[in-house]
Chain A
Amino acid sequence: MGFLASNYVLTAKNLCGVRGERLLFEKLNFELSNGSVLYLEGANGSGKTTLLRTLCGLSKPYAGAISWCNENISELAEEYSKYVLYIGHLPGIKEDLTALENLQFSLALSGEKFNFTEATEVLKLLDLAKGLNLPTRMLSQGQKRRVALARLWLQDLPLWVLDEPFTALDADATSLLKQKIEAFASAGGMVVMTTHQEVSIKVPKFEQLRLDA
Chain B
Amino acid sequence: MPKELSTFSVLYRILARDIKVALRRQSDVMAVFFFFIIAASLFPLGSSADPKLLSAMAPSVLWVTALLSCMLSLSRMYSSDHADGTLEQMMLSNQPTVLVVLMKILAHWVLSGLPLVFVAPLIGLQFNLSSAELQLLAISLLMGTLTLSLIGSIGAALTLGVHGTGVLIAILVLPLYIPVLVFGAGAVNAVSIGMNPNGALSLLGTVLAMALVFAPLGSAAALKIALE
Is B truly associated with A?
yes
In the docked arrangement, what's the CA distance between A156 and B13, Å? 19
Chain B interface size, as a band, is 20 to 34
Q: State whether A58 touches B91 (Cβ < 8 A).
A: yes
**Binary flags per residue of A66-107, CB closer than 8 Å to B gives 1, else 0:** 000000000001110110101011111111110001001110
In the complex, which residues of chain A have a beta carbon less than 8 angstroms from the beta carbon of B83? Answer: 90
**Are A111's CB and B10's CB within 8 A?**
yes
Q: Do B92 and A94 touch across chains, with their CB atoms under 8 A apart?
A: no
In the bound complex, CA of A193 to CA of B228 (Å): 19
User: Of B20-28, B109-117, B154-162, B164-172, which stretch is located at the interface?
Assistant: B20-28
CB-defined contacts of B81 to chain A, threshold 8 Å: 94
Query: Considering the chains assembled together, what is the distance between the CA atoms of A111 and B3 in angstroms?
Result: 6
Q: B85 touches which one: A88, A104, A105, A112 (CB < 8 A)?
A: A88
Given contacts A78-B93, A108-B13, A109-B10, whether A94 and B84 have CB atoms under 8 Å apart is yes
Please report A residues at the B interface, Cβ cutoff 8 Å: 2, 56-60, 77-79, 81-82, 84, 86, 88-97, 101, 104-106, 108-113, 135, 156
A-B complex: 9 closest residue pairs judged by Cβ atoms: A90-B85, A109-B93, A92-B85, A108-B13, A113-B4, A92-B89, A96-B24, A111-B3, A111-B5
Determine whether the beta carbon of A90 is less than 8 Å from that of B88: yes
Q: Do A2 and B84 touch (CB < 8 A)?
A: no
Tell me the complex Cα distance, A2–B94, Å.
Answer: 17
In Å, the complex CA distance between A104 and B5 comes to 12
Residue positions of B touching A, CB distance < 8 A? 1-5, 9-10, 13-14, 17, 20-21, 24-25, 81, 83-86, 88-97, 227-228
Question: Residue of A at shortest CB range from B20?
Answer: A97
CB contacts (< 8 Å) of A59 on chain B: these are 227-228
| Neighbouring B residues of A104 by C-beta, 8 Å | 13
- Beyond A109-B92, A109-B94, whether A91 also contacts B84 by CB under 8 A is yes
Inter-subunit contact B86/A112 (CB<8 Å) = no
- For B90, the closest partner residue in chain A by CB is A109
Question: Which residues of B have CB within 8 Å of A112?
Answer: 1, 3-5
Contact B85 A108 (CB under 8 A): no
CA distance A97 to B84 in the complex (A): 12
Residue among B2, B24, B91, B94 with the most chain A CB within 10 A?
A: B94
When the two chains form their complex, are residues A108 and B91 in contact, meaning their CB atoms are under 8 A apart?
A: no
Residues of A within 8 A of B20 (CB): 96-97, 101
B13 to chain A: which residues have CB within 8 Å? 104-105, 108-109
For B89, the chain A residues whose CB sits under 8 A away are 86, 92, 106, 109
Q: Is the CB of A105 within 8 A of B2?
A: no
Given contacts A58-B88, A106-B89, contact A111 B94 (CB under 8 A): yes
- Chain A residues near B92 (CB, 8 Å)? 56-58, 81, 84, 86, 109
Residue of A nearest to B13 (CB): A108
